[in-house]
Amino acid sequence: MTTHDELLSTSPSISPEAWGLDALISIAELSAYLGVPVATIYDWRVHGHGPAAFRFGKHLRFAISDVRAWIAEQKEPAGQPGTAKRR
């Protein structure tokens, strides 16, 4: 009988794009990319912030397109000259 691990090792690797899907990254990969702790991302999720995620069992995965869209939403416009408060 073939085991799950044997199937995985003998199955051809198919990229998500071949299926018409976005690539998914883990919370650890998102954390490394954004330069913030994993705990911060969990905190954002508790408070309804951060990029949308998929849950597969106990694992969170983030679509690259959702991460890009969320990052674009975080952009702040540059302040107008002379409007910044100085200390």
Question: Does residue 63 form part of some domain?
Answer: yes
Please report, for the domain that includes residue 49, its CATH number. Answer: 1.10.10
Q: Average pLDDT in the 61-82 region?
A: 90
The single-letter DSSP state of residue 15 is -
pTM: 0.70
Question: Does residue 67 form part of some domain?
Answer: yes
Question: Does residue 33 form part of some domain?
Answer: yes
Number of compact structural domains in the chain: 1
Q: Average pLDDT in the 1-17 region?
A: 60
Query: How many Å apart are CA 30 and CA 5, to the nearest integer?
Result: 27
Give me the pLDDT at residue 11, please: 55
Give 30-65 pLDDT, tens digit per residue: 999 999 999 999 999 999 999 999 999 999 999 999
